[in-house]
Amino acid sequence: MKFINNFKRVLKYSKGCRKYLVVYFILSLTMSLIGILVPYLTSLQLVQLTAGIWNKVILVSIFVFLVRIFNRIIGFFSSFATEKFSKIVVSKVQLELGKELLSIKVEDIDKHSNGVFIQRLTRDAYDITSIFTSGVSIFNNILQDIGVTILVFITNVYIGLYFVLYLIVSLILQHIRTKMLETKENDLRNQRESTSGFSTELVRGIRDIKMLNAENSFLKKVQSNIEDLNNKDYDISFTYRLFSIFETICNQMYELFLVFIIVYFVKHEAFDIATGVVIYNYRNYILSLVYDATYIIDFIRGFNISCERVFALFGSEEFKKEKFGAVHLDHINGDFEFKNVEFSYDTNKVLDKLSFKVNANETVGFVGKSGAGKTTIFSLLCKLYDIDKGKITIDGVDINELDKDSIRGNITIISQNPYIFNMSIKDNLKLVKEDMTDEEMYEACKLACLDDFIEALDQKYDTIIGEGGVTLSGGQRQRLAIARALIQKTEIILFDEATSALDNETQTKIQKSIENMKSEYTIMIIAHRLSTIINCDRIVFIDKGKVVAQGTHKELLKNCKAYKALYESESIEK
């Protein structure tokens, strides 16, 4: 039932391209029927050759030649149909997986390594779609093998029963093997995820590993992961090898006793030598039936494991989905409010009955010690996490009642470490607006103080900037992220220490850009350096998840000792 339910779920992805599957099935079935005929013809060749009937030998040989050529041509078109079908179905599955992955709660993504998602998007996606190709192929092979078995029964019921007895013994042996392998293969896949995730970290963190002179310690961890993977892989391989010994013994005994049985019936004239030769030539079809049945058992087990891993991304306790409301706002003013908001990361309480309000087109700065909850405020406002208690409103509407586009289509976060994609500068900007004009691009990059740098590049805006923007400096990545936000033109722009990696000169230019946006956007700024926010309309001082004080820079210097101490310590550092 598990297999049937999984098959039904996968089947929906074949909609629109099932004609290729039908063609593949018909051609494969034709090849199976030819497969039954060829051994009979070759046996007939042998009998006529030994009897010296040369004319019939030549005719049968020509016919076998034509049949095999025809079979090869059918195989060509069969392969074309299955490749076409597989390409379409795999693409659909991977696209759907991508959509599901993007809807998983951030907190659940944080709990897993990249390898968990990479393995399921690639290897497992291919495994579940192979049910339509490998599954159909093996099904047709089994039909061919069963057809041969029926022919043997018609020829001699006792030999037919012998074939069936051997099949039953072999299937019992394979069932025992399958039970031993089931848990081991699941553990192997989990280890592959862990190793894949660690390998991804090795590649992405290679510069930091070099600078930290941590090659040896990191390689030890790599070695440990690889050894665990290889040990699990070896354990499975050993089980296969062990059972292959028993299979070989059974196969050899089967063939030996089959010869004895055929000799016995020929000697007692139950059938002639020609029939005995045909039956002997058919012996491999029973062996094939055993192997195919074994493959089906292994295939179904692997298929079910892959389905469980893939469909877990579609909604499970391990990967919970984001939830949004149904209220849609085409346009928001940009004011919002936190009312007694509480939030914790697991058992670590970050926000404690936090309350404040920001008006539309107001520029507000947030300051406080590291861990005070400033970045968490931004994450909750974008609904990357759900609050534990309290209420957040945008334009007076509870954020839990709003749909995704009303929230994230109107808010942009420019983080301290923005992710830049491995594509051109222009394509990175077009991600947020597909119909972006060149004029909009130039203006945004100019406001972000990035235009001079881009114009100095050989390929200018068509320059590929590497995974994570590796060819850019930290400041250049942040300025590109700012330009991306300006292209998006959302009503609310959140700067999460977005100028921390900029030099003083560039920071001054960015501050000027923020000043230019003041009257058009609601702007919130988390700043490590207070010089970034002293010109804000209002500054909110956060400590231990609560608002300690708020006001202008001058008001806080006068009324908040903690803010004044922070400002004075920064001035001393300068």
Q: Which of residues 489, 509, 528 is at a domain's end?
A: 489
pLDDT by position in tens, the chain (length 574): 788 888 888 878 878 877 887 887 788 778 777 777 776 676 666 666 666 677 777 877 787 788 778 878 887 887 788 778 877 888 888 888 888 888 888 777 777 767 777 777 777 877 777 777 676 667 767 777 777 777 778 878 888 888 888 888 877 887 787 777 777 777 777 777 777 766 666 666 665 565 555 667 667 777 777 788 888 888 888 887 888 888 888 888 888 888 888 888 888 888 777 677 777 777 777 777 777 777 777 778 778 888 888 888 887 777 888 888 899 887 788 888 999 999 988 778 888 888 989 888 888 989 888 778 888 888 888 888 888 899 999 988 999 999 888 888 888 888 777 778 888 889 888 888 888 899 889 888 888 888 888 888 888 999 988 766 777 877 788 788 888 888 877 788 888 876 665 666 667 766 776 776 777 788 888 877 777 788 888 999 888 888 888 888 888 888 888 888 877 776 544 4
Does residue 135 fall inside a structural domain? yes
pLDDT for residue 500: 61
Query: Could you tell me if 347 and 307 lie in one domain?
Result: no
| One domain, residues 175 and 243 | yes
53 domain-assigned: no
Beta bridge partner(s), residue 378: none
Task: Compute φ and ψ for 552, nearest 5 degrees.
Answer: -75, 170
Residue 10 is part of a domain; what is its CATH number? 1.20.1560.10
288 and 373 in one domain? no
pTM to 2 decimal places: 0.64
Q: Is 246 in the same domain as 298?
A: yes
Last residue of a domain, one of 489, 512, 537: 489
Residue pLDDT, tens place only, 197-249: 666 666 666 655 655 556 676 677 777 777 888 888 888 888 878 888 888 88
Contacts of 251 (CB under 8 A, 6+ apart): 287
Both 452 and 387 in one domain: the answer is: no
Domain assignment present for residue 44? The answer is no
Q: Could you give the dihedral angle defined by the CA atoms of residues 117, 123, 126 and 128, in that order, rounded to the nearest 10 degrees?
A: -70
Q: How far is CA 395 from CA 58, 306, 523, 540, 568, in A?
A: 90, 45, 15, 20, 37
Domain that holds residue 538: 323-410+490-574
How many angstroms separate the CA atoms of 319 and 100, rounded? 10
CB 407 within 8 A of CB 394: yes
Domain boundary pick from 489, 504, 530: 489
Question: Do 256 and 176 fall into the same domain?
Answer: yes
Residue closest to 73 by CA, chosen among 38, 134, 30: 30
Over residues 250-306, the pLDDT tens digits come to 888 888 888 888 888 888 888 777 677 777 777 777 777 777 777 777 778 778 888
- Do the bridges between strand 363-367 and strand 522-526 make them parallel or antiparallel, or are there none, so unpaired? parallel
Task: For residue 210, count other CB atoms closer than 10 A to its CB.
Answer: 10
Q: What is the CATH number of the domain that holds 511?
A: 3.40.50.300
Maximal C-alpha separation, the chain:
117
**499 in the same domain as 483:** no
What is the pLDDT of the chain when averaged over all its residues? 79
Q: Tell me whether residue 182 is in a domain.
A: yes
Instruction: Determine which helix (DSSP H) or strand (DSSP E) holds 526, and give its type and residue range.
Output: strand 522-526
Residue 484 and residue 344 share a domain: no
Q: Residues 92, 13: contact at Cβ < 8 Å?
A: yes
Same domain, 482 and 507: no
Pair 131, 188 in one domain: yes
Overall number of domains in the chain:
3
In a domain, 166, yes or no: yes
The answer to whether residues 271 and 329 belong to one domain is: no
> Is 26 domain-assigned?
no
Does residue 143 lie in a domain region? yes
For residue 517, is it within any domain? Answer: yes
> Is there a single domain that holds both residue 504 and residue 432?
no
